[in-house]
Copies of this chain bind each other. A is one copy, B any other.
Amino acid sequence: MSKLWGGRFNKKSDWLADQFTFSISYDHRLAKYDVIGSIAHARMLSKQGIIPKGDSAKIVAGLKKILLQIETDKFKFDPKAEDIHTDIQNRLKFFIGKPADKLHTARSRNDQVVLDMKLYCRDEIAKLVAAITYLQKEILEFANKNKDVIIPAYTHLQAAQVVLLSHHMLAYIEMLERDKTRLFDCANRTDFMPLGSCALSGTSLKTDRVYLASLLGFSQVAANSMDVVSDRDFIVELIGDCAMITTHLSRVAEDLILWATKEFDLVDIDSSFCTGSSIMPHKKNPDVLELVRGSSAKVTGLLAQIHVLLKGLPLTYNRDLQLDKPALFDSVDTAKNVLLVLSKIFASMEVKKGNAAQRVLDESFFTVDVMDYLVKKGVSNRDAHDILGKMVRECLDQGRPLSSLSLGELKQYSLLFGADVKKLFNPQMSVKIKSSLGSTNPNLVAQQLNQWSKKLNA
């Protein structure tokens, strides 16, 4: 098939060079966007009288035919086409003949590919947002289903205090919400229409880029033609957003992998998301969660890659930029897949309530509450800390629980201890007495669950 730039060359390109430079194997994913952009472009060209209305009508009709083929999976990509733009151009020529030669007026592949990529990003950002919302809902559902379950919470992977499982789940929802707002910001920064910048300097043809922007649903026109064809910020930013999502989810996966061990034993991951061992019949391995965790490695690597790619490139377009596409596609696909599969895991996961109830009886979880008991009676935080430290150490040494201390013994640590302190050695009490905004207090958590329910189902 002919190339778009053959005229000047008197020699065919090397087949190895072709193989090395051809991008159709991945940029075929832009096909739909390329056609949509071209339809708008043809309309603008005829509105401005740059090409005849009749030619434009044929071009648009031909492109719509191609679009239908693409959307119904009937478009056969030509592996011998250099890239998707060439493939579509060739097809259009095949369908409508000569008028097709007028489409590539007042534009260049440099601005065309940026347009395609921005349209892709716009769509995919919407899908990512939907996937995040879907996961948030499943987490919320899981939280609501296990509203009253109390579990140990960890710092340094050492069980520290008790919290409502639903409170822990709300932390995930918050993380994901930030990811969503980052995507919105990225969408806003992508919302500048690039087409018509041509190779780099604009054109002497009387185009109407504002009209193009309105046809294509952009709210602004990119202001500098050299910037537009060099700029890959929107791709870096979207990969960065995907990296944050997958890094977040690697942490969620780690929590669940730990909880699913025999040792922590707090949840049961549904068998449909586990696999077995080829040699150990008793194993039930959380493979899917491990792959979720590992996926963050991929996107972190891709984020590094896109920066390396751009580093030190002179303005304006350089062919290196072609490699931004597989990096972006892979990042977005990975993030979407991970969000989706994790949603399913939350939807089918069971809490081992009995085990949780057993675990939260450990009295060391309540020492902070006892400290605050003393603080409320006027003891300084430092002194309260020292008192509790001494109590804990001595009880550990004697192998007895804190609650076994008699009132008399307690008073040897502090005369301010009353009998009521004993009520604190209780997980339900521990969450109930928390009162600060954002704390694990059941009423506050319930409010949060309600608010999220409204927000996510709005």
Contact = CB atoms under 8 A, between A and B. Distances in A.
18 contacts: A14-B270, A17-B341, A21-B288, A155-B318, A156-B283, A185-B185, A198-B368, A202-B434, A203-B435, A204-B435, A236-B247, A247-B307, A279-B385, A281-B388, A290-B319, A294-B309, A294-B322, A304-B308
Q: How big is the A interface, by class?
A: 35 or more
**Most B Cβ at <10 Å: residue of A225, A310, A372, A393:** A225
Contacts of A222: 438
Given A109-B278, A182-B189, 19 more contacts: A13-B271, A13-B274, A20-B288, A20-B291, A105-B381, A158-B286, A160-B199, A167-B226, A168-B315, A171-B224, A171-B227, A202-B440, A225-B439, A251-B315, A282-B367, A294-B323, A296-B311, A297-B306, A301-B302
Interface of A is mostly: helix
A297 B287 contact: no
A198 B440 CA distance: 11
Contacts of A70: none
A308 B296 contact: yes
Nearest to A438: B225
Contact of A155 (B237, B257, B316): B316
A319 B285 contact: yes
Interface stretch (A3-11, A26-34, A114-122): A3-11
A168 B288 contact: no
A290 to B, nearest CB: 4
Contacts of A156: 257, 283, 285-287, 290, 317-319
